[in-house]
Amino acid sequence: MLIDYHIHSTFSRDSSMTLREVCERACQLGIKEIAVTEHMDFDPRDYSYGYFDYEAYSKEIELEQEKYAGRLIIKKGVEVDYQQRNEKKIGKWLESHSFDYVLGSVHYVIDTNLSEIEPVRRLFSQHRRMEIYKEYFKEVQAAVLSGMFNAIGHMDLVKRQGSVYMGPLLLEDIKEEVIEVLEAMIKTGVVPEVNTSGWRQPPREPFPGPDTLKLYHDLGGEFVTIGSDSHQLRQLGFNLDEARELLRGIGFQSLATFDKGRLVPVEL
C-alpha cells in the first residue's frame, strides 16, 4: 500500500504547503494513507521552537479527515525533536496531547543542530568522525528506550553532512552501535522509518541505508514505515516506490501504519 508517513504542512515553520494542498496532492499521487508529522521542538535554540499550535492543528486535521473520507486516510502525527536532556519535558507534553503517530527524531549531536551549516562544519572539524557517529547513535538508542515513540525518524541523519565532510557512512564502521539500536527497536516494538529524503541529499540513499535495513531484517525486524519528509509539494511522495522496491528486495512484507498509537500492519 502506498503510504507517506513523514510530511510537514504549514503547521511546521519550515514547510510551504498547507494541509489541504498536502491532501489534494496525495490523492493525485494515488497515496492511500498519510501521516502528517509536524515539528515539535523542546530546545529554545531551535528554529521551530514555540511554533507548533496543537489546537489549530487538531481542528484542521479533523476537518480534512471528514472532507477526504473514503479517498485518503489522514493520520494525526507529530515529529518530536528528541534530546535526552529534554526527556522529562517531552514525556509530560506527550501525556497531555493525543496523536495517532509519534515519530521521534534526533536532530542534534554534541550540541550541534544538524541542519545548521556553519555549526556542522565546526563540529566536523573539531571532533573525530567516529566520535560524532557514536554520539549520534547513543542518542538514537536513548530515544528508542524512552518508550515515547512509535517510530524513529531518519535514524542515521548524521550521515547527511557526515558524508560531505568524511565520505560515505559505512555500516562496518559503526556496526556495533547500529546493532544495539536495531535490537532495542525489535525488543520494544519501535519501528524504523525509511526516510526517502536522503535520496535527494548528499548521501544519495535513504536514512537508514540498504545495509542497515537488511541488518534489521536479518535480526528479525518485521515492520518499517516509509516517509518522504516533505516540506514542499514537489517532495510529497518522493521515491516511495523506490523505497518499497528496496524493502521487497530485502524480504520485508509489511509496512507499519498507526492508529491512536497502535501498530496496524499493511501490505508492502
Q: Which residues bind Zn ion (CB under 5 A)?
A: 79, 105, 153, 229
| Minimum distance of Zn ion from residue 146's CB (angstroms) | 16
- Name residue, grid cell 562496518: 172
Which residue lies nearer to Zn ion by CB, 153 or 237? Answer: 153
Which residue lies nearer to Zn ion by CB, 214 or 239? Answer: 239
Which residue lies nearer to Zn ion by CB, 74 or 214? Answer: 74
Which residue lies nearer to Zn ion by CB, 4 or 229? Answer: 229
| Minimum distance of Zn ion from residue 66's CB (angstroms) | 26
Q: In what helix (H) or strand (E) does residue 256 lie, and over which residues does it extend?
A: strand 254-259
Query: In 3-state terms, what secondary structure has residue 180?
Result: helix
Q: Are strands 151-152 and 191-195 parallel, antiparallel or unpaired?
A: parallel
| Minimum distance of Zn ion from residue 108's CB (angstroms) | 11
C-alpha cell at 233: 509539494
Q: Are strands 101-105 and 151-152 parallel, antiparallel or unpaired?
A: parallel
C-alpha cell at 239: 521515491
Which residue lies nearer to Zn ion by CB, 138 or 217? Answer: 138
Q: For the chain, how are helix, strand and coil distributed in percent, rounded to 5?
A: 45, 20, 35
| Minimum distance of Zn ion from residue 8's CB (angstroms) | 6
Which residue lies nearer to Zn ion by CB, 46 or 229? Answer: 229
| Minimum distance of Zn ion from residue 113's CB (angstroms) | 11
C-alpha cell at 204: 544519495
| Minimum distance of Zn ion from residue 110's CB (angstroms) | 17
Q: In what helix (H) or strand (E) does residue 27 lie, and over which residues does it extend?
A: helix 19-28
Angle at 17 between CA 244 and CA 10, to 5 degrees: 110
Residue nearest to Zn ion (CB): 105
| Minimum distance of Zn ion from residue 124's CB (angstroms) | 19
Q: What is the DSSP letter of 26?
A: H
Which residue lies nearer to Zn ion by CB, 46 or 60? Answer: 46
- Name residue, grid cell 516509509: 226
Angle at 31 between CA 25 and CA 37, to 5 degrees: 75
